[in-house]
Amino acid sequence: MILLDKIDSTNNYIKKHWRELPSETVVWALEQTEGYGRNNKRWYSPLGGLWFSVLFKPRKRPLIPYFYLRMYSLVIYNVLKKKYKLDPIIKWPNDILLNSKKVCGILGESVYEDGTPSCVIVGVGINVNNELPEKVSNNSIALKDVIGKEIPLRKLLNELNHVAYHRYYLKYFKPKAISSITKMWLNHLNVKVGDKVQVSVENNGNIYGTVNEIQSDYLEIIDNNGEIRKINSGELIVL
Ligand code: BTN
């Protein structure tokens, strides 16, 4: 594990150094100055939160990026539920919510060479003991505010990576077992095929319809006019 006091972004750090770092290296920063999330949105990362990225470049295990993201959403779901006795949900695709507010976001990136991924980088941001800026406090929450006390970051980080490695990575990241990751993820996801949903798409109003397929990076919805819509981001509400 590499621990940094301050860095632009732990994902960027791994993107710069992935060749020389071994697989499963964890890069943890106490503070990020340019943390980012999906769709390149700014990810506010002050002291007190848990900001880390993990590099995967296995030689013998499947390297399909979305399985790694689903693994981490399952890990965070399970640790919050079993160790901290909380009631999280996984909001499509990989956000973790507590009390309907986002406590954790996960960002996957890959480096491709000759059309195939050479490594996968999973970036995890958890609001733990940090304050939240007003801009996001309507939709986000910090763990300390749910539990009522601060949580040691190193302990939480070790718990998460221990569960990731032993309970999921060693067990399921094999060609014949990997599809179980998707099954487990679908079981805990807040949306199912057949659900009626509303999705508000930035600058593009609301789409109402029924979920037809759940894909790795988009949801296929049949809208109320019978048209097939592919949604890869937006605010999803299950009706
Ligand atoms: C999202 O919900 O949009 C994903 C947010 C991911 C944030 C984490 S914090 C650690 C890592 N470094 C980054 O710059 N981003 C990810």
Instruction: Output the domain CATH number for residue 234.
Output: 2.30.30
Q: Pick the atom of ligand 1 nearest to 106's CA.
A: 4
Would you say 127 and 143 are in contact if contact means Cβ atoms under 8 Å apart? yes
pLDDT for 34 equals 98
pLDDT for 202 equals 72
Q: What is the pLDDT of residues 83-137, one digit of tens each?
A: 999 999 999 888 999 999 999 999 999 999 999 999 999 999 999 999 999 988 8
- Tell how far the Cα of 237 is from the centroid of ligand 1, in angstroms: 22
Please tell me whether residues 35 and 144 are part of one structural domain.
yes
Query: Best substitution site from 92, 124, 160, 161 to test ligand 1's pocket, by max atoms within 8 Å of Cβ?
Result: 124
Cα gap 110→123, rounded to integer Å:
11
Please tell me whether residues 124 and 204 are part of one structural domain.
no
Cα gap 230→102, rounded to integer Å:
23
Please tell me whether residues 42 and 17 are part of one structural domain.
yes
Would you say 62 and 175 are in contact if contact means Cβ atoms under 8 Å apart? yes
pLDDT for 236 equals 84
Please tell me whether residues 48 and 83 are part of one structural domain.
yes
Please tell me whether residues 136 and 30 are part of one structural domain.
yes
Q: Pick the atom of ligand 1 nearest to 39's CA.
A: 3
Which residues, judged by CB distance below 6 Å to any ligand atom, belong to the binding site of ligand 1?
Answer: 9-11, 32, 35-38, 41, 43, 45, 51-53, 95, 105-107, 123-125
Cα gap 213→220, rounded to integer Å:
5
Q: Pick the atom of ligand 1 nearest to 29's CA.
A: 10
Compute the CA torsion angle 30, 32, 36, 41 (nearest 10 deg).
Answer: 110
Q: Is 185 helix (H, G, I), strand (E, B) or coil?
A: helix
Please tell me whether residues 177 and 213 are part of one structural domain.
no
Give per-residue burial for 119-138: e unless 16+ CB within 10 Å, then b: bbbbbbbbbbbbebeeeeee
Please tell me whether residues 126 and 232 are part of one structural domain.
no
Cα gap 128→153, rounded to integer Å:
8
- Tell how far the Cα of 226 is from the centroid of ligand 1, in angstroms: 35
Cα gap 142→149, rounded to integer Å:
11
pLDDT for 237 equals 87
Which stretches of the chain drop beneath a pLDDT of 50? none
- Tell how far the Cα of 54 is from the centroid of ligand 1, in angstroms: 12
Integer distance in angstroms from the first to the last C-alpha of the chain? 43
Please tell me whether residues 202 and 112 are part of one structural domain.
no
Against a cut of 0.85, is the pTM above it?
A: yes
pLDDT for 201 equals 78
Number of other CB atoms surrounding residue 101 within 10 Å: 18
- Tell how far the Cα of 235 is from the centroid of ligand 1, in angstroms: 18
Counted domains in the chain: 2
Please tell me whether residues 184 and 200 are part of one structural domain.
no
Q: Which domain holds residue 114?
A: 2-188
List, in order, residues 6 or more apart from 133 with CB less than 8 Å away: 44
Please tell me whether residues 230 and 207 are part of one structural domain.
yes
The DSSP letter of residue 45 is -
Cα gap 97→74, rounded to integer Å:
12
pLDDT for 216 equals 74
pLDDT for 1 equals 96
Please tell me whether residues 134 and 217 are part of one structural domain.
no
Nearest Cα residue to atom 11 of ligand 1: 123
Cα gap 220→143, rounded to integer Å:
32
Please tell me whether residues 216 and 121 are part of one structural domain.
no
